[in-house]
Structure 1
Amino acid sequence: MIDKSNVATQNISYANVCRSDVMKELPEKYYLTHFIEFAEFIKSTSSHLLGDDETAFFAEFAKLPEDAQCILVRIVNRKSPFVRKDTLVYSEVADSGAAINLLRKVGFVSRINKHCFHDFIGQLNKQDLIDLSISLTIDKPAKSANKNKWLNFVSNALSNALSYDQVKKSPVLTSHIYFAKQDTFHYLLFLYFGHLSGRLNQFSMRDLGVMQTQSVQQQQANFSDKDEAKSAFYYANQFKAIKEANKSDVPLLQTLAEQLIASDKPIGFLATQKYHHSLYKLAIVLMEQAPTLGETLLSQSEHPAAQEKYIRLLYKSDRKAQCEALLLAILDNPDSETLLLFAEDFYAQKFNQKRTSVLTDMLRKSGEPIGIDEAYIGQVETGVKDRYIKQHRLCYFTENKLWRALFALTFWHELFQHPASQRANEFSYYPKVLKQDNFYELLHTEIERKLSELTSNQQFCDYISATIDQYSGEPNGLFYWHDELKDVLTTFIQHAPFESIKRHLLAMSKTFKALCDGYPDLMYIEQGEVFFEEIKAPGDSLRRNQLVSIKQLINAGFNVSIQRTEWRFNSEQNYVVVDIETTGGKKDTHRITEIGIVRVEQGKITDSWQTLVNPERHIPKMITELTGITNEMVKDAPKFEQIAEKLDTFSRNAIFVAHNVNFDYGFIRQEFARLNKKYTRAKICTVQQARKYLPGFKSYSLGKLCCDLNIELKNHHRALDDAKAAAEILLRINQVRAEQTT
């Protein structure tokens, strides 16, 4: 075993290991082709959403020579509307200077002018800020000062000593141009993507294979009419401005609030959603500094969290009659399941003298907690799952994944192929009918028919299996495809009450927004029956969305419970004690040469496994001198990919243990990542545990600790021998833990 005490652990980037070794090449003017594709979509599906500015944008673009079109598209693809002219030189453009001059002549770009000067200052680098201040005679920051000090200096000077006219001929300004049509272009992007985050580089990512898209049978507009589109764009930008605003800048927040209150009534679902969410966001940050304005915002917002906060505020300020009236209004006509649950609970506590909340009640009814080893802190569900598997229960992590996948696969045609729910284009992953929560309202006939055609568990299994086979890998916005998906879903359908499945799928179709999350962590099968269980670590609370989904499952006829846990030593816990030998100390560049694993069950060593591994790289001489493993020894050994499945299987349902565990665990995770697979286990470090439970030794290196504890260690720095020694240390540690527990 290599000395691992000074090896820093690093997080594995799955993005790095999943990329293709050979990057596709795009055509020379790919970006222009993508812009034209984008423009054709807008003109063919959304011309009724365009105003004069947008129509003129496309008309003027069409008149430009190709070089000018190329430069304009390069400009619109930049993050900033301010662009240095010398960065617009491309081999495929004959004369970028002439193209820029033409773009300025027709109004697509401009010089830096008074109107954009202040925004321009904010994106300059430090040297530009220094150069811009040359003409000022007032005291300046030292040249060594950081950029923020220089930016503050120049910004303050704008109000006093520095004017646009003084610097308009400065090279800092004349070297830049400004994209003058950015508002128009951002609206066009919004029409295409349906949100503010869309960028044209997504077309490139699609063509490179980096971003998956799903083809649509017929493209369509994201909005019904221009008023709806403009309103959605306005309120999406308002919401963005509120999110990005400095929360300590109260005058700015008050201005944003006053603008919001004075704005026209939102038109359409998206605008209405953003409007009410904006009211709530502003109310939260203004309640302390401007309570009257904050309360006004809360009272006008229909966001569920805003309504809850406003009702609590009314009760706290002794306006109980008004509070009760609002609660009764929600009870009579609830906007959402979550809000209804709050109203029922709050009304019962405050007006019917109920002492505890329904969330507290449900947790109290959950029975005695079960003991889980502290190694599972942060992944308590894994600890419970391992416990159940040891009890020979068939157990799965399900949480939201099971129901979202089953819902999407059951109604695949209705969600992704029906004209009423058709997505706008290939970048629209999430069905509009789910965004607007009107799936059942629009397609109730098709939904009821689909459910009525499903008549047995086996038929449903066959239907889901066929749907997976047909559409596997298609991006969908609801769930991720994985190798075990079919097994999990068909196992569930085979054992679950058939009518209960259909009842809950129908409920999801009616109120998907309320029932898209909050599902129990685990599903297990016992004596042929399905059970769902929400796992709670010490100190965890039950969230309201979890209670909503749990209640719906119970109403549908499922067995659902909450299982509390507590951290304590478990003498029956399974462990795998691991040691590896490697070509060096860095997992990103070095490789494994040997793996040794010892399995501990019921406090005894029950099994072991060892293998040499071909590292596919040279073993340095110093490593061979340390471990005795030579290049000749590993030449014909299996590669990691050939033993990965065996390693995964042998170490399942057990805590991963090693001496300096992050070294061994990190290397193994990295090897799995190279295969585009994940490897996750709860882990314990025998160095840390020995320091805690076996104190007083001068050194906790494996060799010296074994010597002090009279543990036999043969062939030090060979994987299986080191793993056996570490297992003996673990047993000594657990002996102390058991004594302390009793």
Structure 2
Amino acid sequence: MKKELPAKYYLAHFRELLTFVSEKCMHLLEQKHISFISKINTLDEQSQCMLARIYSRKPYLVQTQSLNYKEISSPYQALFKLKAAKLIVEPSDKDHKQLLSHLTKPALIELLEKQEQTPLFKKSAAKSNLVEIAISFFESKPECLAHLYNQYVINNREEYYEYFEFLYIGRLSAGDINHQNRFVLRDLGVTPVRQEHNESLSRFDSIKEAQSNYALNRLRLTLKNTKDDNEREELAKQLINKVAVGVIAQELKNKLLVILFKQLKTTNPTLAFDLLNACEDDAQALEIQIREQYRQGNKQWVKAQLEQIIENPLSDELLYFADDFLMRKFNKQTRSRLSEMLASTRCIIEVDELYRGDVELGVSDHYTRQGKQVFYTENTLWQSLFTLVFWQELFIETPTPPCNEFDIFPQALKTDSFYLNQSSQIEARLAACNSTPKLLRLVCNHAAKYYEQPNGLFRWHPDVLKPVEMLILNSPITALLQHLKNMAKNYRQLKDGYPDLMVVDNSAVHFEEVKAPGDKLKRNQLVSIDNLKSCGFIVNIAAVNWYVDPKRIYSVVDIETTGGLKGGNRITEIGIVKIQQGNIIDTWTTLINPERPIPRFITKLTGINDAMVSDAPIFSDIVSTLLDKLSGSIFVAHNVNFDYGFIKKELEELGINFKMPKLCTVVESRKAFKGLKSYSLGNLSTHFNLDLTNHHRALDDAKAAAQLLLLVQQTDSQ
């Protein structure tokens, strides 16, 4: 259940932040920040409430008439005291552009119409055009706006308060997301926080580090709002000269430099390359430089750089790039050693083309039909195993504890210092898990103890342990421990890029990276797959070939319900007609007790009433039969997402993940029979003389949709 917001919650958040800054961050403040806090502490509660409310607003200007709140009994008195303390000020002539931009369109029109020499404008013009006209007109007549200035106050949260927020959160957010909103979402129980967190800590050691990170975050937000190359060039010059203090600041600066390079490389190549040269120890920037220099013909410089990378790589991804580039461009080979190794793992899997929308499901069903267990794993499997093994070292016995309750992602993983700082703890943990039972026991104990505690690495759900358990039980313990150690050493390189599927067969595990025609392996996938293979895991690159299976089985489904998909509505009847090679091979139907009243209009439409379903099975009673009927087939329905969505929703309520290839007879009919006025099942049945004698009963509708499907297939074959 969500919590209720406390009384004067904005004030509570305001004080909470100021207390944190005063107690933990005095070494990160300038004199102006200290003076600001001192002024706040001399204010009465009403004035503090008002300032907190102003800082919760997004615009630069805030209209005083809008500052009416239940907890502030005398808003104008509070505003007067804030002005007297010089904590807020009214706008002046220098703010006339912001003021005019802030006005509503009706207010702009009224303002322009009241002038003695009214400028030419159309009331139907866009607001942006009216703002331009007003700015131009009042440029020489700023005194005409004087009567508006006292109706607003300047929201100067950026000058002081935003820096305080940054010290607490460590990041600036665009739009309406700010520190106070984080607190509101926390109080409502929406934002996950670390419940056991007791004491907040400063996240920066020095004022230079804090201000460097803050300034770079401000440039990041500025970059998001740049509109043209002139603004980007100005920002680029600022960024090149901006000093980055600390690992996180340097990484952010490198990221921004590369983004600006890509935006300016065609319009201002000289400045663009200055941006690349300003990057420090950045693999992406170095790769771009090598590619660009090669295009320009500087091949000797490129070769020297590639050889240097291979000798001392910044990352495995950069090493693979250098190895591949050197082989192809200088040694005239089409593949690098790594590419050759990966090519040897390639296998071809024939998949029915109906799986084009979900190729992983096609490969999963391919192995399931062979009697193998398949799990969708990708990154979640290794993230959850890694977290559950090292929970103590990451969150409890760590030299880099979270700075506050909002820090749910381990700081040591952000800076890749986990193994560097805690190697003895990590080695001891792995040594204690030197057998399958020991490792599984540790994972299960941690899962039971810390279930649903936010961790920033994976999301808890009821089945999170099942694939982890299967991985542990069916893998060599040495391979598991080696890969966990590699993740601890190089988490940022091995946090993602893992294969899509885990296949379990005869007490053995192998992984499948699924690639449809035209798909390519990404660099991070090469890194993770290579690492898994070096640890002893079997990894296949499943290259999919599409084909049309003439023996496809189609399960044409129709359901009746108590109403639409939303609003807690339930299924009252299911009908299934199974088709293979143009013949009906099975039919099945059942009424279902929806465990809620059936509305009158639904009874009028379907003929199904409460009495008819009172003794019918509930949905959970027919689940095994339903899944057996649908197994190994294509789910077909008229408006398929309605029927599929209802069944998926019902199964998820029972903890069953439902996934099937699906086909919509509405979509297929539109393609096969173009130009019809209506594609409803009733109208199509009339048009094609299909057998539909009892419309809006599940089996009858399913039979009609099955006939329609056969008609579509006949048309397609012709």
Deviations for 1:172-228, whole angstroms, at most 9, x for unmatched residues? Answer: x32111123422111100000011124212222212212221132542111111111
In structure 2, relative to structure 1, the CA distance for the partners of 1:44 and 1:672 (3 Å cut) is farther
Identify which of 171, 176, 184 aligns with 2:160.
184
- Report how many residues are paired: 710
Kept after mapping to 1: 8 A contact 2:577/2:584: no
Task: State how far apart, in whole Å, the 1-side matches of 2:675 and 2:73 are.
Answer: 76
- Which residue, 497, 516, 519 being the options, matches 1:540? 519
Deviation at 1:129, TM superposition (A): 3.0
- Separation in 1, partners of 2:104, 2:24: 41
1:726 is matched with which residue?
A: 705
Q: Secondary structure at the match of 1:170?
A: helix
2:399 aligned with 1:428: no
1:439 equivalent to 2:415? Answer no
SS in 1 for 2:559: strand
Aligned 1:406-555 pairs, distance under 5 A: 406-555=385-534
SS in 2 for 1:200: helix
Distance (whole Å) between structure 2 residues aligned to residue 688 and residue 406 of structure 1: 42
Q: Which amino acid aligns with 1:54?
A: H
Any idea what SS the aligned residue of 1:182 has? coil
Distance (Å, rounded) in 1 between the aligned partners of 2:97 and 2:615: 67
Q: Do the aligned residues in 2 keep the contact of 1:366 with 1:564 (CA within 8 Å)?
A: no
> CA deviation digits over 1:292-318, x for unaligned, max 9?
111111222243222211110100001
Higher RCO (CA 8 Å, separation ≥ 6 residues): 1
In structure 1, distance between residues paired with 2:494 and 2:225: 30
- Cα distance change of structure 1 residues 41 and 358 upon mapping to structure 2, 3 Å threshold: farther
CA distance in 2, matches of 1:697, 1:61: 71
What's 1:242 paired with?
223
Cα deviation, residue 425, structure 1: 0.8
Question: Which residue identity lines up with residue 469 of structure 2 in the other structure?
Answer: T
Deviates more, 1:182-191 or 1:692-701: 692-701
Task: State the Cα distance separating 1:474 from its structure 2 match.
Answer: 0.8
Aligned partner of 1:227 among 203, 208, 217: 208
Instruction: Identify the residue that residue 239 of structure 2 maps to in structure 1.
Output: 260
How far apart are residue 549 of structure 1 and its match?
0.6
Alignment of 1:516-665 (within 5 A): 516-573=495-552, 575-583=554-562, 592-598=571-577, 605=585, 608-614=588-594, 616-621=596-601, 623-635=602-614, 651=630, 654-665=633-644
Q: Which amino acid aligns with 2:251?
A: Q
CA distance in structure 1 between the aligned counterparts of 2:680 and 2:517, rounded to whole angstroms = 34
Matched, 1:118 2:94: no
Deviation at 1:682, TM superposition (A): 3.0
**Alignment RMSD, CA only?**
3.1
Q: For 1:550 and 1:43, locate their aligned partners in 2 and report how far apart those are by CA, in whole Å.
A: 48
Cα–Cα, structure 1 residues 574 and 593, in superposed 2: closer, same or farther, change >3 Å? Answer: same
TM-score (structure 2 length as normaliser): 0.91
The 8 Å contact of residues 575 and 698 in structure 2, kept in 1 or not, is answered as yes
Q: Deviations over 1:9-33 (max 9, x none)?
A: xxxxxxxxxxx6xx54323212212
- Letter of the aligned partner of 1:224 in structure 2? D
Question: Once the 2 structures are TM-superposed, how far is the Cα of residue 163 of structure 1 from its aligned partner?
Answer: 4.8
Aligned residue in 2 for 1:170: 147
Show the counterpart of 2:169.
Answer: 193
- Which amino acid in structure 1 is aligned with residue 223 of structure 2? I
Match of 1:211 in 2: 191
Question: Which of 295, 311, 318 is matched with 1:339 structurally?
Answer: 318
Deviation at 1:427, TM superposition (A): 0.5
Contact 1:553/1:560, CA 8 A, preserved across alignment: yes
> What is the match of residue 130 of structure 2?
150
> Contact 2:323 / 2:336 at 8 angstroms: preserved in 1?
no
1:99 pairs, out of 78, 81, 84, with 78
Q: 1:3 corresponds to which residue?
A: none
Choose the corresponding residue for 1:382, options 356, 361, 366: 361
User: 1:116-147: per-residue Cα shift (whole Å, max 9, x none)?
Assistant: 44344433322333344343736332112121
**Structure 2: gaps of 5 or more residues:** none
Shift of the 566–132 alpha-carbon distance from structure 1 to 2, 3 Å rule, reads farther
Q: Deviations over 1:58-81 (max 9, x none)?
A: 221111100001111111111223
Following the alignment from structure 1 to structure 2, what is the Cα–Cα distance between the partners of residues 675 and 123?
Answer: 52
Structure 2 distance, partners of 1:600, 1:461, is 45
Please tell me whether residue 317 in structure 1 is matched to residue 296 in structure 2: yes
Kindly, what percent of the aligned residue pairs are identical?
38
Q: Residues of 2 paired with 1:430 and 1:629: CA distance? A: 52
C-alpha separation in 2, matches of 1:475 and 1:589: 29
Q: Secondary structure at the match of 1:420?
A: coil
Q: Does structure 1 conserve the Cα–Cα contact (< 8 Å) formed by 2:578 and 2:585? A: yes
* Pairing 1:685–2:661 present: no
Return closer, same or farther for 1:394/1:671 CA change in 2, 3 Å cut-off: closer
- How far apart, CA to CA, are the structure 1 residues paired with 2:65 and 2:651? 45
TM-score after normalising by structure 1: 0.88
Of 72, 97, 108, 2:87 maps to 108
Gapped runs of 5+ residues in structure 1? 1-19
**Which stretch of the first structure deviates more once superposed, 661-670 or 325-334?**
661-670
Structure-1 residue corresponding to 2:248? 270
Would the aligned equivalents of 1:359 and 1:544 in 2 still touch at CA under 8 Å?
Answer: no
- Whole-angstrom CA distance in 1 between matches of 2:308 and 2:116: 64
The verdict on how the C-alpha distance between 1:438 and 1:609 changes in structure 2, with shifts beyond 3 A counting, is: farther
